[in-house]
Amino acid sequence: MKDILTAPFVKEMQKTTANMYRLGWDERNGGNISYMLEEDEVKEYLDLGNVIRTIPTGFDATDLIGKIFIVTGTGKYFKNVVDDPETNLGIIRIAEDDTTAELLWGYKDGGRFTSELPAHLMSHMARLKVDKENRVVMHTHPTHTLAMNYVHELDEKKFTHTLWEMCTECIVVFPDGVGVLPWMLCGTNEIGEATAKKMEEFRLVVWGMHGIYGAGKTMDETFGLIETVEKAAEIYMLTAHLPRVNTIRDEEMVELAEFFGVNYRKDFLNI
């Protein structure tokens, strides 16, 4: 059996968490990632019959029974994942009782998955109904996106439209727009349910005055979605207090979207 520390999915988690910490998106133990794995890729590295212990998930994940995820740990710092993945990450499988996770590897200090796992699993379930290839859910606190929450209306159409105006590629990268939630208590099923509902139509959901959730087929896609929003938010924050001399017009956004063949939210444009 191969060394789990050489597994591509472990390496991806190490690289991505290190990048997110380096960018200042995930201070202290902020942020969390869940990455759904294929059984065939995991069994090259682990005995899937060896369950280390079981951990209650706190909600009914019937649609994900048998699914395997690698998940960041609660209270863990992203900066430490690269040096000690076995303590800061865990590989879990949703058990047959649908409310328990079977730990297959990791959390070696007795830890457990992120407290926001219910929100992640609910979002996975929602996105899989829209896109059966969805595998990643990522939550982070990008600085400029968060700052924008305090000075911009938390309205999905207006928030998305502003971001689309900031960078030429935005309407192409996230043509489905950005969902927005008001401030809600984190770590609860309520915010998980609200996020999952938004995930039925958006791959990106802003948590007001908190951060953002992203979902995608791959780690790169999901990271890239959030990265593009953050770049647009940074440009907005650098220019919001200045007179607007130039902008990307709605007709030009349409031209972009249609040239690149993306299915964009026409109702989010002012035309």
Same domain? For 187 and 256 the reply is yes
Same domain? For 132 and 243 the reply is yes
Residues 243-256: pLDDT tens digits? 999 999 999 999 99
Structure tokens at 268: 């989010």
pLDDT classification of 271: cutoffs 50, 70, 90? confident
Instruction: Give the separation between CA 249 and CA 184, rounded to whole angstroms.
Output: 34
Return the pLDDT at 209.
97
Percent of the chain with pLDDT over 70: 100
Q: Which of 99, 115, 131 is the last residue of a domain?
A: 115
User: Annotated catalytic sites, by residue?
Assistant: 116
- Structurally, the chain folds into a number of domains equal to 2
Q: What is the mean pLDDT of the chain?
A: 96
Return the pLDDT at 16.
98
Same domain? For 177 and 78 the reply is no
Return the pLDDT at 187.
85
Instruction: Give the separation between CA 96 and CA 116, rounded to whole angstroms.
Output: 21
Return the pLDDT at 98.
84
Domain that includes residue 68, residue range? 1-115
Return the pLDDT at 269.
97
Q: What three-state secondary structure class fits 247?
A: coil
Same domain? For 159 and 102 the reply is no
Q: Would you report the helix, strand and coil content of the chain in percent, each value rounded to 5? A: 45, 20, 40
Dihedral over alpha carbons 65, 204, 15, 133 (to 10 degrees): 40
Angle between helical axes of 117-130 and 189-199 (0-180°, round to 10): 20
Residue 1 has pLDDT above 90, yes or no: no
Residues 177-214: pLDDT tens digits? 999 999 999 988 899 999 999 999 999 999 999 999 99
Return the pLDDT at 58.
83
Return the pLDDT at 9.
98
Same domain? For 128 and 228 the reply is yes
Residue 103 has pLDDT above 90, yes or no: yes
Same domain? For 123 and 241 the reply is yes
Same domain? For 158 and 111 the reply is no
Residues 228-239: pLDDT tens digits? 999 999 999 999
pLDDT classification of 59: cutoffs 50, 70, 90? confident
Q: What is the mean pLDDT of residues 91-114?
A: 95
Same domain? For 65 and 128 the reply is no
Return the pLDDT at 46.
97
DSSP 90-148: EEEEE-TTSSEEEEEEE-TTS--B-TTHHHHHHHHHHHHHH-TT--EEEEE--HHHHHH
Same domain? For 104 and 147 the reply is no
Q: Are 214 and 225 in contact (CB under 8 A)?
A: yes
Percent of the chain with pLDDT over 90: 95
Q: Which of 74, 96, 115 is the last residue of a domain?
A: 115
Q: Which of 115, 148, 173 is the last residue of a domain?
A: 115
Q: What three-state secondary structure class fits 53?
A: strand
Same domain? For 137 and 269 the reply is yes
Beta bridge pairs of residue 43: none
Q: Are 135 and 221 in contact (CB under 8 A)?
A: no
Residues 84-101: pLDDT tens digits? 999 999 999 999 998 999
Residue 15 has pLDDT above 90, yes or no: yes
The CATH number of residue 72's host domain is 3.40.225.10
Return the pLDDT at 231.
98
Same domain? For 44 and 153 the reply is no
Same domain? For 83 and 135 the reply is no
